[in-house]
C-alpha cells in the first residue's frame, strides 16, 4: 500500500467513537469537546449524520488518554471509547471524466456538469480549476460547484477523504430562469463520485518520521526490532 508523504503539521491519524457513560450528558460532552478542540488542533470531532455517533480524530493514544482525563476532571464527564482505527485517505489512480446532462434521466436537477479528476504526486493536496467561463456561468453557480466538490471529496469510494487530486470543472449548462445554484450544488457530488469510479482510487496510509537517540551499543538491536513495528531505519549518525 502506498504511503502518504509526511507533512510538517501533523494531522490526526486515528479515530474512534466516543459516548458518555451517562447518556444524559451527551450535550455536556459535545460542549466540552468544542472547547477542548479550540485549544488543541490535533483533536477533531464530528457527529455522524447517519448514526449520530460522536467521532473523535486524534494523533495518538496518549493524547486520547489525556483528553479522557481532562473530560472527567474538568468537565465531570466520563466517556466510553471504542478501539481506535487508522484514518486513511484516497487518491485517484488515473485521469477520468464524467458528465451528467440536463433533462437526461435519471438526472433530477436543472443542470449539466462535466468534471475531470487527475492524480497528483503524493503530498500535493487538492487542486481545483474551472474551464467554464464566468461570462456564461456566473459566480454563484461556480461557487455552488466548488461547494459540491468539497462535499464530494469528504467521502471517496472507500469512505475516506480524497487528497492529492486535481479536479477540473470542464462543462456546465443551465436553463434560465429555472436553474439555480442549488441544482449545481446537489448534482456536483454525484458527478464527482462517478468520475472517481471511472478513475478508481487507492488507499493511502499515514506514516510518521522520527529521530531516535540511543547509545551505540543498542544500534544493532534497533535495526532488528524496527521491522516488528512496521518501521524502517533510513540512516544513522554516530556522535562523539
In the predicted model, what is the mean pLDDT of residues 24-34?
96
In the predicted model, what is the mean pLDDT of residues 165-184?
97
Tell me: pLDDT of 58 over 60.
yes
Task: Among 38, 64, 86, identify where a domain stops.
Answer: 86
**Is 216 part of a structural domain of the chain?**
no
pLDDT at 1: 54
Answer yes or no: do 141 and 49 share one domain: no
Q: What percent of the chain has pLDDT over 70?
A: 95
- CA 91-94-97 angle, to 5 degrees, is 105
* C-alpha R_g of the chain: 23
Answer yes or no: do 107 and 166 share one domain: yes
**Is 230 part of a structural domain of the chain?**
no
In the predicted model, what is the mean pLDDT of residues 41-65?
88
Window from 16-30, 52-66, 93-107 with minimum mean pLDDT: 52-66
Answer yes or no: do 189 and 122 share one domain: yes
What distance in Å separates the CA atoms of residue 41 and residue 230, rounded to the nearest whole number? 27
* Structural domain that includes position 31: 14-86
Number of domains in the chain: 2
Long-range contact set of residues 128-136: C-beta below 8 Å, sequence gap at least 24 = 128/166, 128/167, 128/168, 128/169, 129/166, 129/167, 129/168, 129/169, 130/168, 130/169, 131/168, 131/169, 131/170, 131/171, 132/169, 132/170, 132/171, 132/172, 136/172
Phi-psi region of 60 (alpha: psi -120 to 50; beta: other; left: phi over 0): beta
Residue 112's domain is classified under what CATH number? 3.30.230.10
For the chain, list the strands marked E by DSSP: 14-20, 44-47, 54-58, 79-81, 85-86, 89-92, 96-100, 112-119, 126-130, 165-173, 201-204
- CA 33-35-41 angle, to 5 degrees, is 80
pTM: 0.79
pLDDT at 9: 54
Q: In the chain, count of helices (H) and strands (E)?
A: 5, 11
Amino acid at each position: 500500500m502506498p504511503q502518504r508523504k509526511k507533512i510538517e503539521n501533523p494531522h490526526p491519524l486515528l479515530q474512534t467513537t466516543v459516548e458518555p457513560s451517562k447518556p444524559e450528558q451527551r450535550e455536556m460532552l459535545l460542549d466540552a469537546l468544542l472547547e477542548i478542540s479550540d485549544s488543541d488542533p490535533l483533536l477533531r470531532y464530528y457527529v455522524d449524520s447517519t448514526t449520530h455517533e460522536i467521532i473523535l480524530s486524534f494523533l495518538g493514544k496518549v493524547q486520547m488518554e489525556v483528553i479522557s482525563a481532562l473530560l472527567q476532571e474538568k468537565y465531570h464527564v466520563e466517556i466510553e471509547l471504542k478501539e481506535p482505527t487508522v484514518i486513511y485517505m484516497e487518491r485517484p489512480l488515473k485521469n477520468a471524466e464524467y458528465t451528467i446532462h440536463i433533462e437526461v434521466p435519471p438526472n433530477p436537477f436543472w443542470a449539466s456538469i462535466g468534471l475531470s479528476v487527475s492524480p497528483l504526486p503524493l503530498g500535493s493536496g487538492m487542486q481545483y480549476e474551472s474551464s467554464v467561463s464566468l461570462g456564461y456561468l456566473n459566480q454563484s453557480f461556480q461557487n455552488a460547484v466548488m461547494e459540491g466538490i468539497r462535499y464530494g471529496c469528504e467521502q471517496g469510494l472507500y469512505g475516506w477523504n480524497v487528497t492529492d487530486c486535481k479536479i477540473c470543472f470542464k462543462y456546465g449548462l443551465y436553463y434560465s430562469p429555472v436553474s439555480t445554484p442549488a441544482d449545481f450544488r446537489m448534482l456536483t457530488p454525484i458527478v464527482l463520485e462517478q468520475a472517481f469510479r471511472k478513475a478508481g482510487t487507492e488507499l493511502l496510509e499515514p506514516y510518521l518520521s522520527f529521530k531516535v537517540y540511543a547509545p551505540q551499543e543498542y544500534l544493532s538491536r534497533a535495526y532488528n526490532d524496527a521491522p516488528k513495528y512496521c518501521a524502517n531505519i533510513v540512516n544513522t549518525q554516530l556522535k562523539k
